[in-house]
Amino acid sequence: MSADREKVYNRIAMLRAERGVSRRDLAAALDVHYQTVGYLERGEYSPSLHLALRIADYFEVPVEVVFSLNPFPRLGATETTNDGSRS
């Protein structure tokens, strides 16, 4: 399988910045190397289900808020429905 097909998008960097958590603090809380957090944020490493659940648990959000198989919409981006209204 190609790496593209296995790509998992995440919002770790955004959540981390929002909560004011450093990479090293997050790594210490998750018991991983701090570089692993960087690789996760850059999308160069897809975590195991266990690590993904622990990350979601750390930020106290559902796992689908942090991870997705499709790119997350950019902040401020809105989708327009067929009838012209914004969602």
Partner 1 sequence: MKPRNRREERMLAVLERETPRYQTRKGRRRLVVAAAGCLGLMWAAAVVCWYLAPSTAAMVTTFVLCGLALVVGAQLWGMLHIVTRGTASLPEHLLDERQVRERLSAHPIAHRLTLLLLLAVFLAVGLALQEERPEVPSAAAVVLLFALMATVWSLPMLVTAWRMADPPPEEEAV
Residues that bind partner 1 (CB under 8 A): 16-17, 20-23, 31-33, 35-39, 41-42, 44-45, 47-48, 50-51
Across-strand partners of 86? 80
Of the pair 48, 70, the CB lying nearest partner 1 is at 48
We find the least distance from the C-beta atom of residue 1 to partner 1, in angstroms, to be 15
* Backbone phi and psi for residue 67, each to the nearest 5 degrees, phi listed first: -120, 145
Give alpha helix (H) positions in the chain.
Answer: 12-19, 23-30, 34-41, 49-59, 63-66
Residue placing its CB nearer to partner 1 in the complex, 4 or 70: 4
